[in-house]
Amino acid sequence: MTDRIIHWFRRDLRLDDNTALLAAYDGATEVVPVFIFDRAILSRPDTGPVRVKFLLDALAALDANLRARGGALILRAGLPEEELARLVAETGAKAVYYNRDVEPFALARDARVAERLRETCAVRGFEDGDLHPPDSIKTKGGTVYTVFTPYKRTALAIPVPKPRSAPEAFRVPAGLASNPLPTLAELGHATEVQIPPGGEGPARERLEGFVRRHLADYDRERDLPAKTGTSGLSPYLRFGCLSPRRAFHAAEDATAGLTGPARAGADVWISELLWRDFYRQILFHFSYVENGSFKKSYDELAWERNDDLFEAWKAGRTGFPIVDAGMRQLATTGWMHNRVRMIVASFLTKDLLIDWRRGERHFMETLVDGDLAANNGGWQWAASTGTDAQPYFRIFNPVSQGQKFDPTGAYVKKYVPELASVPEKWIHEPWNLPLEYRKPFRCVLGTDYPYPVVDHARQREKALALFKKIE
């Protein structure tokens, strides 16, 4: 007899190494793959159009991949608990499978679904989004790690499951209604920003290209925003177009047998994958970080409003070239190099003295890879309010950071074209450009490019004082 399991896609938009999907495939003769557009998510103010655009792409790719295997993606819209109950009734499915999430919103939603379907069918969540599930790594004392380095040491000693390939062929029930894939505009979003194509095909291509061309140099080049030293895989990991275990083993396999410096690149990249796991387990176990400081005493920090400065930061008009380049890269591409994310976050919190949550929100609105766990973790790190935080006195100097990581100014010049003719020597501190050079180099401050909106040395002192009041 035919039995059916519904696979509910959420942040696992792939067939490859998809834990719940493979379990459904193994456990039933027919799998019903469904994605539900949830108004509650789509209308959230921090759901940015670039991410919705990427999502639509990923769904189209997912549907195409399913069709190539004899399946098709069922699209519904509404409240997940209602739509799933309806779909269970339509199909007579014996179970709903999904991969677990770590976000408070998702956990509450999934609890509602389980409650709604409790007497109708089985509902099972699987671990899929990490190298190591968020509840699987604990200290000897049984507590959750809140410092990265010991977390990583423990994690590296635990084997990462080998990725499993996608099921070969699907059998799906005939005649199920499915909505057409909506357009971005139909979902109430619009953007001109060009982003990478969504889907697991592009994800695998990018992974393979990165491993082949950049992995070996990752330890040396990942911090240089003018180079393509990073993997660019963050949006694919964000939407589950790429299995993190697939990513891990691609790096492992490429460096098998190598030791020492030869695998330094892979080691550092794997460490970045573990940062992702680390912040996911932090959000899972300390859900209050969504709204407040991990270190609760830092909720008392007296951040300033400084609305004009916030607008200047968002627009990339702070007068600090590396900061402005980063913010403009974000605005025009929906992505920002990680080193520069740290610099602009330090600048917002420690130079403009603005609450990290406002920066976090802006990132969520604009980043194609915007993810609560990673974004919140990164912002709290920069603001010194989080786990494993940089001590509060670690304040980036936007000039020396620029000189160190963009020594020729190539990155600055790419995104801040008005500085294109400024010589290397002054590219990160145009206010020190001798007056007689300003006209010939088309860098008249206040006309061609803004004066610095703050004095770094002075703001640094104010930031230190702000934190000192809490200690």
Partner DNA sequence: TGAAATGTTGGGGCG
Partner DNA sequence: ACGCCCCAACATTTC
Active site residues: 272, 275, 303, 338, 356, 379
Is residue 284 within 8 Å of 422, Cβ to Cβ? Answer: no
- State the residue for tokens 């709903």: 96
Contact string (CB under 7 A) for DNA, positions 330-349, x = contact: ---------x--x-------
SS3 labels along 60-77: HHHHHHHHCCCCCCEEEE
Q: Of 206-245, which residues contact DNA (CB under 7 A)?
A: 223
Is residue 318 within 8 Å of 431, Cβ to Cβ? Answer: no
Cβ nearer to DNA, comparing 34 with 348: 348
Residue 361 Cβ vs DNA, minimum distance, rounded to whole Å? 22
Cβ nearer to DNA, comparing 227 with 404: 404
Cβ nearer to DNA, comparing 255 with 403: 403
Cβ nearer to DNA, comparing 402 with 450: 402
Q: Of 428-457, which residues contact DNA (CB under 7 A)?
A: 456-457
Sole binder of DNA in the list 171, 249, 285, 404 (CB under 7 A) = 404
Q: Determine the 3-state secondary structure of 392 from DSSP.
A: coil
Sole binder of DNA in the list 9, 279, 310, 396 (CB under 7 A) = 396
Cβ nearer to DNA, comparing 366 with 397: 397
Sole binder of DNA in the list 275, 279, 320, 335 (CB under 7 A) = 275
Cβ nearer to DNA, comparing 228 with 390: 390
Strand order in the sheet with 4-9: 74-77, 30-37, 4-9, 95-99, 122-126
Cβ nearer to DNA, comparing 274 with 372: 274
Size of the site for DNA (CB under 7 A): 21
Backbone angles phi and psi of 97, in degrees to 5: -110, 145
401 binds DNA (CB under 7 A): yes
Residue 394 Cβ vs DNA, minimum distance, rounded to whole Å? 4
Is residue 147 within 8 Å of 298, Cβ to Cβ? Answer: no
Binding piece for DNA, criterion CB under 7 A, among 41-49, 161-169, 353-361, 389-397: 389-397
CA distance 280 to 376: 10
Beta bridge partners of 31: 5
Binding piece for DNA, criterion CB under 7 A, among 70-78, 174-182, 207-215, 396-404: 396-404
Binding piece for DNA, criterion CB under 7 A, among 8-16, 42-50, 388-396, 431-439: 388-396
CA distance 417 to 425: 17
Binding piece for DNA, criterion CB under 7 A, among 158-166, 207-215, 397-405, 428-436: 397-405
Sign of the CA dihedral running 258, 264, 269, 275:
positive
Binding piece for DNA, criterion CB under 7 A, among 168-176, 226-234, 391-399, 418-426: 391-399
Residue 340 Cβ vs DNA, minimum distance, rounded to whole Å? 11
Contact string (CB under 7 A) for DNA, positions 97-136, x = contact: ----------------------------------------
- Which long-range CB contacts under 8 A does 157-161 form with residues at least 24 apart? 158/132, 160/131, 160/132, 160/245, 160/248, 160/249, 160/252, 161/245
CA distance 250 to 16: 14
458 binds DNA (CB under 7 A): no
393 binds DNA (CB under 7 A): yes
Q: How many angstroms separate the Cα of 117 from the Cα of each of 28, 104, 108, 206? A: 19, 20, 14, 39
Residue 392 Cβ vs DNA, minimum distance, rounded to whole Å? 8
Cα–Cα–Cα angle for 439, 443, 444, rounded to 5 degrees: 70
Contact string (CB under 7 A) for DNA, positions 145-174, x = contact: ---x--------------------------
Cβ nearer to DNA, comparing 120 with 390: 390
Q: How many angstroms separate the Cα of 334 from the Cα of each of 15, 188, 422, 445? A: 26, 18, 27, 28
Q: Determine the 3-state secondary structure of 251 from DSSP.
A: helix
The secondary element (H helix, E strand) that includes residue 32 is strand 30-37
Tokens of 431: 């206010």
Cβ nearer to DNA, comparing 293 with 397: 397
The secondary element (H helix, E strand) that includes residue 124 is strand 122-126
The residue ranges that bind DNA (CB under 7 A) are 148, 223, 272, 275, 339, 342, 390-391, 393-397, 400-401, 404, 456-457, 460, 464, 468
